Structure 1
Amino acid sequence: MDQQEPQFLEVGQGPKRRRLAYALADSGPGGSGLALLWLPGFLSDMVSTKALALADWAEARGHSMLRFDYSGHGLSPGNLLEASIGDWLEEATSMLGLLKGKRVIVIGSSMGGWIALLLARALAKSGGVPLAALVLIAPAWDMTEKLMWEKMSEKTRRLVETEGLYYAPSLYGDPYPITKHLIDEGRKHLVVGGGIEVGAPVRILQGMRDPDVPWQHALALVDLLASDDVQLTLVKDGDHRLSEPGDLRRLEATVAALVERVQDST
């Protein structure tokens, strides 16, 4: 159970100003100088099984870790009907700013994997300090187009276009909203063009029994990444969440190997 008291960060300007909940466990001057940044998936939050397991792992080893809730998720207020990938990318960028001075490994789950790629690409283009590494769990890259719009029937697409909103059935709870705004705005952030420059090693963990992000989707991402240092691990019986004990140990081992690599290079 998460015992860490959340803090809040203001992001955006004017009517787009949002108040985001986050939890930062800073190892301080006696720590490793490394930090993990957790990017949750769509409709997930910073207290998921994977996020908490990784937070415990990082604390035990002297690494800082930052977890947060996107606007409209968890403890962060906001209206999902007005939200977009661009908003959540801006929020992830602001959170990364809280880790200034540290080498940062970003771990993105599902939609968080897409946002991790966008964050790394933006840093590479701007010449900013690159991320130390990326770990992508069932990365739902280009989710709004590839995994939502292209999977919809013509009838559902017409509903989104005319009504601006469709409630999609979920395997995990109540139906969730897909808005025209989410689809349209998502098209500004697609990575499908290929040659994604991230400037860091990438590790992908993907279940082959994932009903939400097919393993072929993760495989296609490997070809889109410009980096040669990309490894894809397919888990034959793995589902979308990859939250079973064995999955958590695999995630920790993946991050541990990257931590060792980063420390050896400094």
Structure 2
Amino acid sequence: MTTSDPEFLTTRQGRKIAYRRTGGAGPVVVFLHGLRSDMEGTKALHLEQWARDTGRAFLRFDCSGHGLSGGTFEEGCIGDWAQDAAEVLAELTEGPLVLVGSSMGGWLSLLMARAMPERMAGLVTIAAAPDFTEDGFWAGFTDAQKAALETDGQVALPSDYGDPLIVTRRMIEDGRDRLVLRTPLPLPFPTRFLQGTADLDVDMSVALRLLDHAEGDDMRLTLVKGADHRFSEPSDLALIASTVEEVIAAGDAA
């Protein structure tokens, strides 16, 4: 864990977003965390150390309802977290960006790439989970769970990561307005998707679907045999950093 106090940004929506920023050369590398994760995870900290070692600008932050940011998780949805990301990028960064999105952060980074393509110098996703509210949660619900979502406004799902995961009706309905695999998804910059074959949370088929659906001239999917959803073994972390370096170099050469 980082011992220094984080800084905070208050968004136009009034949400208090915690972040940590490292100065250095551009493009700015920005880490976007996963669902019920935060900016203090192994991958974010490894990238921050890499940025310091290589003199690169780096930013990590907690979406609202996550980590040290304000709000509660149950009140949030993909649209809120995408707003948080957009505000952070607009207010705390300048110039070209390389986004590194983990799981839900992969979905958010794709939304950011669609919203601000002019700022994108590259994209790296790790076990990206685009459209998971629809293709994961809703598609996997039983009829009883779907009924409970309508009557109670939420469903509690068992989780391997601690307390039950609360999925709200708002999260499902809002997610349908943010889907990226149903409409064209141009990614006209160096793009790398990383995916473990032993991921029990995001199946390999999601990565293959994303690769097939997205449009771009410099796009690659790397499958890592035996890697799980955390993607945090030393070799996984080294691959993340080297992939970010590859994307930056490809952008510089373009």
TM-score, normalised by the number of residues in structure 1: 0.92
Partner of 2:177: helix, strand, or coil?
helix
Partner of 1:231: helix, strand, or coil?
strand
- Are 1:156 and 2:149 matched, yes or no? no
Partner of 1:195: helix, strand, or coil?
coil
1:110-129 superposed matches below 5 A = 110-124=103-117, 129=118
Q: For the Cα contact (< 8 Å) 1:194–1:225, is it kept in 2?
A: no
- Inter-partner Cα distance in structure 2 for 1:245 and 1:59: 18
Q: Which residue of 2 aligns with 1:230?
A: 219
Q: Which residue of 1 aligns with 2:163?
A: 174
Taking only the aligned residue pairs, the percentage that are identical comes to: 42
Question: Aligned AA for 2:20?
Answer: A
Q: For the Cα contact (< 8 Å) 2:188–2:216, is it kept in 1?
A: yes
Q: For the Cα contact (< 8 Å) 2:65–2:75, is it kept in 1?
A: no
- Inter-partner Cα distance in structure 2 for 1:101 and 1:74: 25
1:19-98 superposed matches below 5 A = 19-27=16-24, 32-98=25-91
- Inter-partner Cα distance in structure 2 for 1:98 and 1:56: 23
Q: Which residue of 2 aligns with 1:198?
A: 187
Aligned pairs, how many?
254
- Are 1:210 and 2:199 matched, yes or no? yes
Is 254-263 or 236-245 further displaced after alignment? 254-263
Partner of 1:189: helix, strand, or coil?
coil
Partner of 2:108: helix, strand, or coil?
helix
Partner of 1:74: helix, strand, or coil?
coil
Question: Aligned AA for 2:22?
Answer: A
Q: Which residue of 2 aligns with 1:146?
A: 135
Q: For the Cα contact (< 8 Å) 2:78–2:174, is it kept in 1?
A: yes
Question: Aligned AA for 1:162?
Answer: T
Question: Aligned AA for 1:217?
Answer: V
Q: 1:239 aligns with which of 228, 233, 238?
A: 228
Structure 2: runs of 5+ lacking an equivalent: none
Partner of 2:187: helix, strand, or coil?
coil
- Inter-partner Cα distance in structure 2 for 1:95 and 1:186: 20
- Are 1:102 and 2:99 matched, yes or no? no
Q: For the Cα contact (< 8 Å) 1:194–1:223, is it kept in 2?
A: no
Partner of 1:188: helix, strand, or coil?
coil
The C-alpha deviation readout for 1:222-263, integer Å capped at 9, x for no partner, is 111011321001111010010011100111111111122223
Partner of 1:132: helix, strand, or coil?
strand
List structure 1 runs of 4+ shifted beyond 4 angstroms.
none
Question: Aligned AA for 1:219?
Answer: L
Question: Aligned AA for 2:77?
Answer: S
- Inter-partner Cα distance in structure 2 for 1:158 and 1:101: 46
Structure 1: runs of 5+ lacking an equivalent: none
Q: For the Cα contact (< 8 Å) 2:188–2:218, is it kept in 1?
A: no
1:180 CA drift (Å): 0.3
- Are 1:12 and 2:12 matched, yes or no? yes
Partner of 1:24: helix, strand, or coil?
strand
TM-score, normalised by the number of residues in structure 2: 0.96
- Inter-partner Cα distance in structure 2 for 1:182 and 1:167: 13
Q: For the Cα contact (< 8 Å) 2:199–2:228, is it kept in 1?
A: yes
